[in-house]
């Protein structure tokens, strides 16, 4: 249960970081059969799909996204685009927000872009 609450707190922190950059959170925990996207943000016209990871250290969090999770995120992003009638060539990126137990937090922009 603690991990669940830590994850929710990390998602709240991530949402506030994007809002501080004038981003508009379009969805939190967007869930459909087959997966979930932690945050979807409109940041100055760029659609940002965000995976949030909270771990003991920032390094642990940065390495916590498996290739299978990345592929699932990409499939869910395609589904979101289809369900919201957005074209596949929409200006978008895939960010990773990492947090640690000491209050550290970092946005890794385009962290998942290599596979996309």
CA 114 to chain centre: 15
Q: What is the CATH architecture assignment of 2-108?
A: 3-Layer(aba) Sandwich (3.40)
Find out whether 19 and 60 touch, Cβ atoms under 8 Å: no
pTM of the model: 0.90
Predicted confidence at residue 1, as pLDDT, reads 57
* Strand order through the sheet with 46-54: 24-32, 35-43, 46-54, 92-99, 105-108
pLDDT in tens, 40-87: 999 999 999 999 999 998 988 888 888 888 999 999 999 999 999 998
For the chain, the structural domain boundaries read 2-108
Distances 69 to 46, 76, 86, 90, 104 between C-alpha atoms, Å: 22, 10, 23, 22, 23
Contact 12, 5 (CB under 8 A): no
Angle at 28 between CA 7 and CA 72, to 5 degrees: 80
pLDDT tens-digit readout, 6-51? 778 889 999 999 999 999 999 999 999 989 999 999 999 999 999 9
């Amino acid at each position: 249960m603690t991990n669940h609450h830590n994850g929710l707190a990390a998602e709240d922190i991530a949402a506030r970081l994007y809002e501080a950059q004038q981003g508009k959170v379009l969805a939190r925990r967007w869930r459909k059969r087959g997966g979930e996207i932690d945050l979807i943000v409109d940041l100055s016209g760029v659609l940002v799909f965000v995976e949030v990871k909270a771990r003991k250290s920032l390094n642990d969090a940065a390495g916590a996204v498996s290739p299978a999770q990345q592929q699932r995120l990409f499939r869910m992003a395609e589904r979101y685009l289809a369900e919201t009638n957005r074209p596949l060539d929409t200006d978008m990126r895939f960010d990773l927000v990492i947090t640690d137990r000491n209050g550290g937090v970092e946005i890794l922009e385009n962290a998942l872009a290599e596979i996309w």
